[in-house]
Amino acid sequence: MHKAIVVFEVEGGSDKGPDGHRKDTLPIVNAIKDAGWESTVIYFHPDRAEEIFREVSENYDGYISRVNPGNIPGGEKGYFELLTNLAEAGLVGMSTPADMMAYGAKDALVKLNDTSLVPEDTRAYYDVEDFHKTFPVTLSYGERVLKQNRGSTGEGIWRVRLADKALAESLTPGTALPLDTELKCTEAVDNKTHDFTLGEFMDFCDKYIIGHNGMLVDMRFMPRIVEGEIRILLVGNEPVFIVHKKPAAGGDSFSATLFSGATYTYDHPDDWPELLELFADARPVIAEKLGDTDTVPLIWTADFMLADGPDGEDTYVLGEINCSCVGFTSELDMGIQEKVAAEAIARVEAQAV
pLDDT at residue number 106? 80
254 plus 291 within the same structural domain? yes
281 plus 345 within the same structural domain? no
**For residues 222-237, average pLDDT:** 91
Q: What percent of the chain is modeled with pLDDT above 70?
A: 95
247 plus 326 within the same structural domain? yes
Q: Is the peptide bond before 95 cis (omega within 30 degrees of 0)?
A: yes
84 plus 136 within the same structural domain? no
259 plus 269 within the same structural domain? yes
Nearest Cα to Cα of residue 326 among 294, 350, 298, 288 = 298
Number of domains in the chain: 3
Among residues 176, 193, 223, the one where a domain terminates is 223
**Segment 113-130, tens digit of pLDDT:** 988 899 999 999 999 999
Per the prediction, the chain carries an average pLDDT of 90
CATH number at residue 253: 3.30.470.20
**Segment 145-161, tens digit of pLDDT:** 999 986 667 789 999 99
CATH number at residue 90: 3.40.50.2300
263 plus 246 within the same structural domain? yes
Nearest Cα to Cα of residue 304 among 230, 248, 252 = 230
Domain of residue 158: give its range: 117-223
CATH number at residue 168: 3.90.70
Q: Residue 107: which pLDDT band, with cuts at 50, 70 and 90?
A: confident
188 plus 228 within the same structural domain? no
229 plus 325 within the same structural domain? yes
104 burial class (0-12, 13-18, 19+ CB within 10 angstroms)?
Answer: buried
Q: Residue 294: which pLDDT band, with cuts at 50, 70 and 90?
A: low
252 plus 291 within the same structural domain? yes
* pTM attached to this predicted model: 0.86
